[in-house]
Chains A and B, each alone.
Chain A
Amino acid sequence: METLQSATQSAVDLQFKVQDLNARYTEAIDDDRLEEWPDFFTDKCLYRITTAENEANGLPIGFIYATSKPMLRDRIKALRQANVYEAQRYRHVLSVPRIVSGQSGVIHVRTSFMVARIMHTGETMLFATGRYEDRIRIDGAQALFSEKSVIIDSRQVDTLLAIPL
């Protein structure tokens, strides 16, 4: 009985850790704290954004492909210093994450998202919907993404995709 209780407790703990990671991750983006964004990842990591169509057809190239934390920092640096785009913000709304497999170590988690884009003019649009296919490394109290695949449902992106999803 006690064993069952403790198993349930660790499942709840794990679910909490994942939800907390998701919440902090999207808040950092939506609050324009983009410099913190790379810190949600392990040093060696994979972050990519692609379309559901590419994914279904096994095609490797999508919008963004980064294979390390320094590459994520480079992207933010480019956004802040180099790239030209109109001021805009996102608002992420996530589903409850589902732990697909794993209980400790690296777990596979799937979460749906909807992202609204709010332009400086006030224009608000539904910018992207899709799913995160995540590999999350759980290390004690710490949870970090070792892989985050952002699979957009549509193949279309309006105007440009500057801020990460």
Chain B
Amino acid sequence: MNIRVWPTETLTRIPYWVYADRDLYAQEMERIFRGDTWNFLCLEAELPKPNTYRTSHLGDMSVVVTRDANGVVHAFENRCAHRGSILCHKERGEAKEIACVYHNWTYDLCGNLTAVAFRRGIGGKGGMSPDSHPEEHAPRQLRIEILNGLVFGTLGKNTPPLETYIGSNIVPNIRRVMKKPVKVLGGYSQVLPSNWKLYMENTKDSYHASLLHLFFTTFRLNRLSQKGGLVVSENGGNHISYSMAADVATKEYEQAGMRSASDKFSLEVPEILKSVDEFGDGIGLQILSVFPGFILQQIRNCLAVRRVVPVDVERTELVWTLFGFEDDDAALTDMRMQQSNLIGPAGFISMEDGAATGFVQRGARGADDELSVIEMGGSGIGSEESRVSEAAVRGFWKKYRDLMGIV
């Protein structure tokens, strides 16, 4: 691979060409998304009963996730062994077997080729030689692991077990949110005009949250002065940023005279921020990411998983699935609906993220060999109490470089 200028000695400098290089993008799809990483595929709740499927992605590769007649979850490439056609062209559905529409080659829900139409021809004429073994070209099957209702898959031969991969300092915070059976409450997707890495960096960047998102700051949902912390997994790739719900009245922002502090701003209906401490630990916000493209979000009672799907080198689809729990009562569901105004492409506190990643994509054009500066909180990837830190962003690049063979 033709690695261009890349400062080798530090994680605090990233060259801009990595967001726009087509060859690098192709390498990422292979080494990262189809390599030794765990990719979030869907919620188990999205396969509600036996003989159901939904499509998902490993990077830009389409995969089919199924629940077979015995309730076991499988995943395989969404590609026919014959001519490579997509097998499932619907996002979700029910099926006992999956047949390619092009020539009706048929697969079981594990992805095994079970029938080839007219394999022996018709009336002794035509068909395929007995020596032919199209099964050898069957779609690749993913290894699957499920963690508290989250379905992950990998094509890598050397991917460590899921919990080892995520890290012992992160896994408990997945269990904390995914504490009981979930119920899907809605979904949508947001097309970002940027490389996928810019969105992952944005997610891991706890420093920007209260500076870019004024709504957050004004209502003291997430002031950096609020008690919280940043946890990064040992391999760097996974993180948690959290803050306590209790408000801390401080004036750091106002004194700094930043754009994002405005006393004039008040809501007529602050009830949309009304919440309950459903996890019983006072944590009002927890953003958790797993390399390369998974985010679990708890903002008060607004719960969502986000799946980062690279579409092209400068285009990324962010697939949001919002959920509650099966035993939610009407009042809690209503609270989640009210708080849903905070997130997504129209969200009071998250609409800016779609634009911000695009700003970097555009700003970096023509500056391929210039470097971005990632020095908040030093140069390491250690966990810390302060969220005025880019430790998790540096962690992302550590994991990235390991997988891409950049030493």
A residues sitting closer than 8 Å to B (CB atoms) are 49-51, 53-54, 59-68, 70-71, 73-75, 77-78, 81-86, 155-162
Binary CB contact string for chain B from 207 to 220 against chain A (1 if under 8 A, 0 otherwise)? 00000101100100
Contact of A83 among B185, B333, B351 (CB under 8 A): B351
Indicate if B406 sits at the interface (CB-CB under 8 A). no
Residues of A within 8 A of B352 (CB): 83-85, 160
Q: Contact check: which of A54, A82, A158, A160 meets B346 at CB < 8 Å?
A: A160
Whole-angstrom distance from the CB of B206 to the nearest CB of chain A? 18
Given contacts A83-B215, A161-B345, contact A155 B188 (CB under 8 A): yes
Within the complex, the shortest CB–CB distance from A157 to chain B, in Å, comes to 4
Q: Which listed residue, B186, B218, B262, B269, touches A70 by the CB 8 Å rule?
A: B269
Chain A contact residues, majority secondary structure: mixed
Shortest CB-to-CB span from B221 to chain A, Å, is 12
- What are 30 pairs between A and B in contact, CB < 8 Å? A59-B185, A59-B186, A60-B186, A60-B333, A61-B337, A61-B340, A63-B344, A63-B346, A64-B341, A64-B346, A68-B269, A70-B268, A70-B269, A74-B272, A75-B341, A75-B348, A78-B348, A81-B264, A83-B214, A84-B214, A84-B355, A85-B355, A156-B188, A157-B188, A157-B346, A158-B193, A159-B345, A160-B351, A161-B351, A162-B351
Within 8 A of A (CB), among B215-237: 215, 218
- Interface size class on chain B is 35 or more
Within the complex, the shortest CB–CB distance from A60 to chain B, in Å, comes to 6
Q: Contacts of A84 on B, CB cut-off 8 Å?
A: 212, 214, 352, 355-356
Q: How far is the CB of A162 from chain B (nearest CB, A)?
A: 6
- Which B225-270 residues have a C-beta within 8 angstroms of A? 262, 264-265, 267-269
Residue in B185, B262, B269 whose beta carbon sits within 8 Å of that of A71 in the complex: B269
Q: Which residues of B contact A54 (CB under 8 A)?
A: 186-188
| B340 x A65 contact (CB < 8 A) | yes
